[in-house]
Structures are given as structure tokens and as C-alpha cells.
């Protein structure tokens, strides 16, 4: 599975976690041009980074999220990390017990 395809799938997984308001857009998403298509699919750039060293090593996943005000940030962070790892273990194409997952909360709404 390619990092882009995995990123799209993981974006859906992260959005389904209770307490996650949305994935944080990167600087490119914040400085949209007039030609930006809001119907474009996939996670906002900078919100979810998926990579692996040399294309063969374990996945390195970084998720940047904004949480809802009624939820504890640490609980949402743990639930998001758990959801990502559960998806990686359930998906035969990406099964990898050595995945490194980092979840950063960038705001609360």
C-alpha cells in the first residue's frame, strides 16, 4: 500500500474517533489560492504524514488533530493512536507491529 493511499484511509479512521473535530490543515491549506477545490479528497496537507524509511521500514505516522471542547485531550490522543494502530494491524497489506505513531493536538474547538 502506498503512503498516499494509507494516509487517505487513516484520515477516515482518525475522523471517526470520538472527540476529533478535524485534521489540522498545514500551511498550504491555510493559504489557499482562489483555485482551491474544496471538494478535493484526502486529508489536508500537513495533517497526516505517512512515511517509511527507505520504503521498506516500519511506518512512521504523524497525525495533527483538533479536538472538541467536551473531551479530555489525553483521552482523544490515546484513542486516535489506538485507532491508527488497530487499523494497521487489521489490514494485511500494512500489518506492521513496529509502526511509530505520533498524535499532536493543535487546538480545541
DSSP one-letter code for 48: E
In a domain, 36, yes or no: no
In a domain, 33, yes or no: no
Q: Total domain count for the chain? A: 1
Q: Which three cell numbers stand for residue 35?
A: 483555485
CB atoms within 10 A of CB 48: 25
In a domain, 83, yes or no: yes
In a domain, 37, yes or no: no
In a domain, 68, yes or no: yes
Q: What is the reported pLDDT for 94? A: 58
CATH number at residue 79: 3.30.70.1350
Mean pLDDT value of segment 7-22? 94
pLDDT tens readout for residues 19-70: 999 998 755 444 554 455 544 555 555 689 988 877 677 889 999 999 999 9
| Residue 100 clears pLDDT 50, i.e. is over it | yes
CA distance 47 to 24: 5
In a domain, 34, yes or no: no
Supply the range of the domain harboring residue 8: 3-26+44-108
CA distance 77 to 92: 25
pTM for this entry: 0.80
In a domain, 52, yes or no: yes
Amino acid at each position: 500500500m502506498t503512503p498516499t493511499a494509507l494516509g487517505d484511509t487513516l484520515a477516515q479512521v482518525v475522523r471517526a474517533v470520538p472527540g476529533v473535530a478535524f485534521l489540522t490543515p498545514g500551511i498550504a491549506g491555510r493559504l489557499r489560492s482562489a483555485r482551491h477545490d474544496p471538494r478535493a479528497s484526502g486529508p489536508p496537507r500537513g495533517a497526516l504524514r505517512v512515511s517509511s524509511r527507505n520504503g521498506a521500514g516500519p511506518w512512521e505516522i504523524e497525525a495533527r488533530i483538533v479536538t472538541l471542547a467536551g473531551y479530555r485531550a489525553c483521552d482523544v490522543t490515546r484513542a486516535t493512536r489506538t485507532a491508527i494502530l488497530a487499523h494497521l494491524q487489521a489490514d494485511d497489506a500494512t500489518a506492521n507491529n513496529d509502526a511509530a505513531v505520533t498524535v499532536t493536538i493543535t487546538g480545541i474547538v
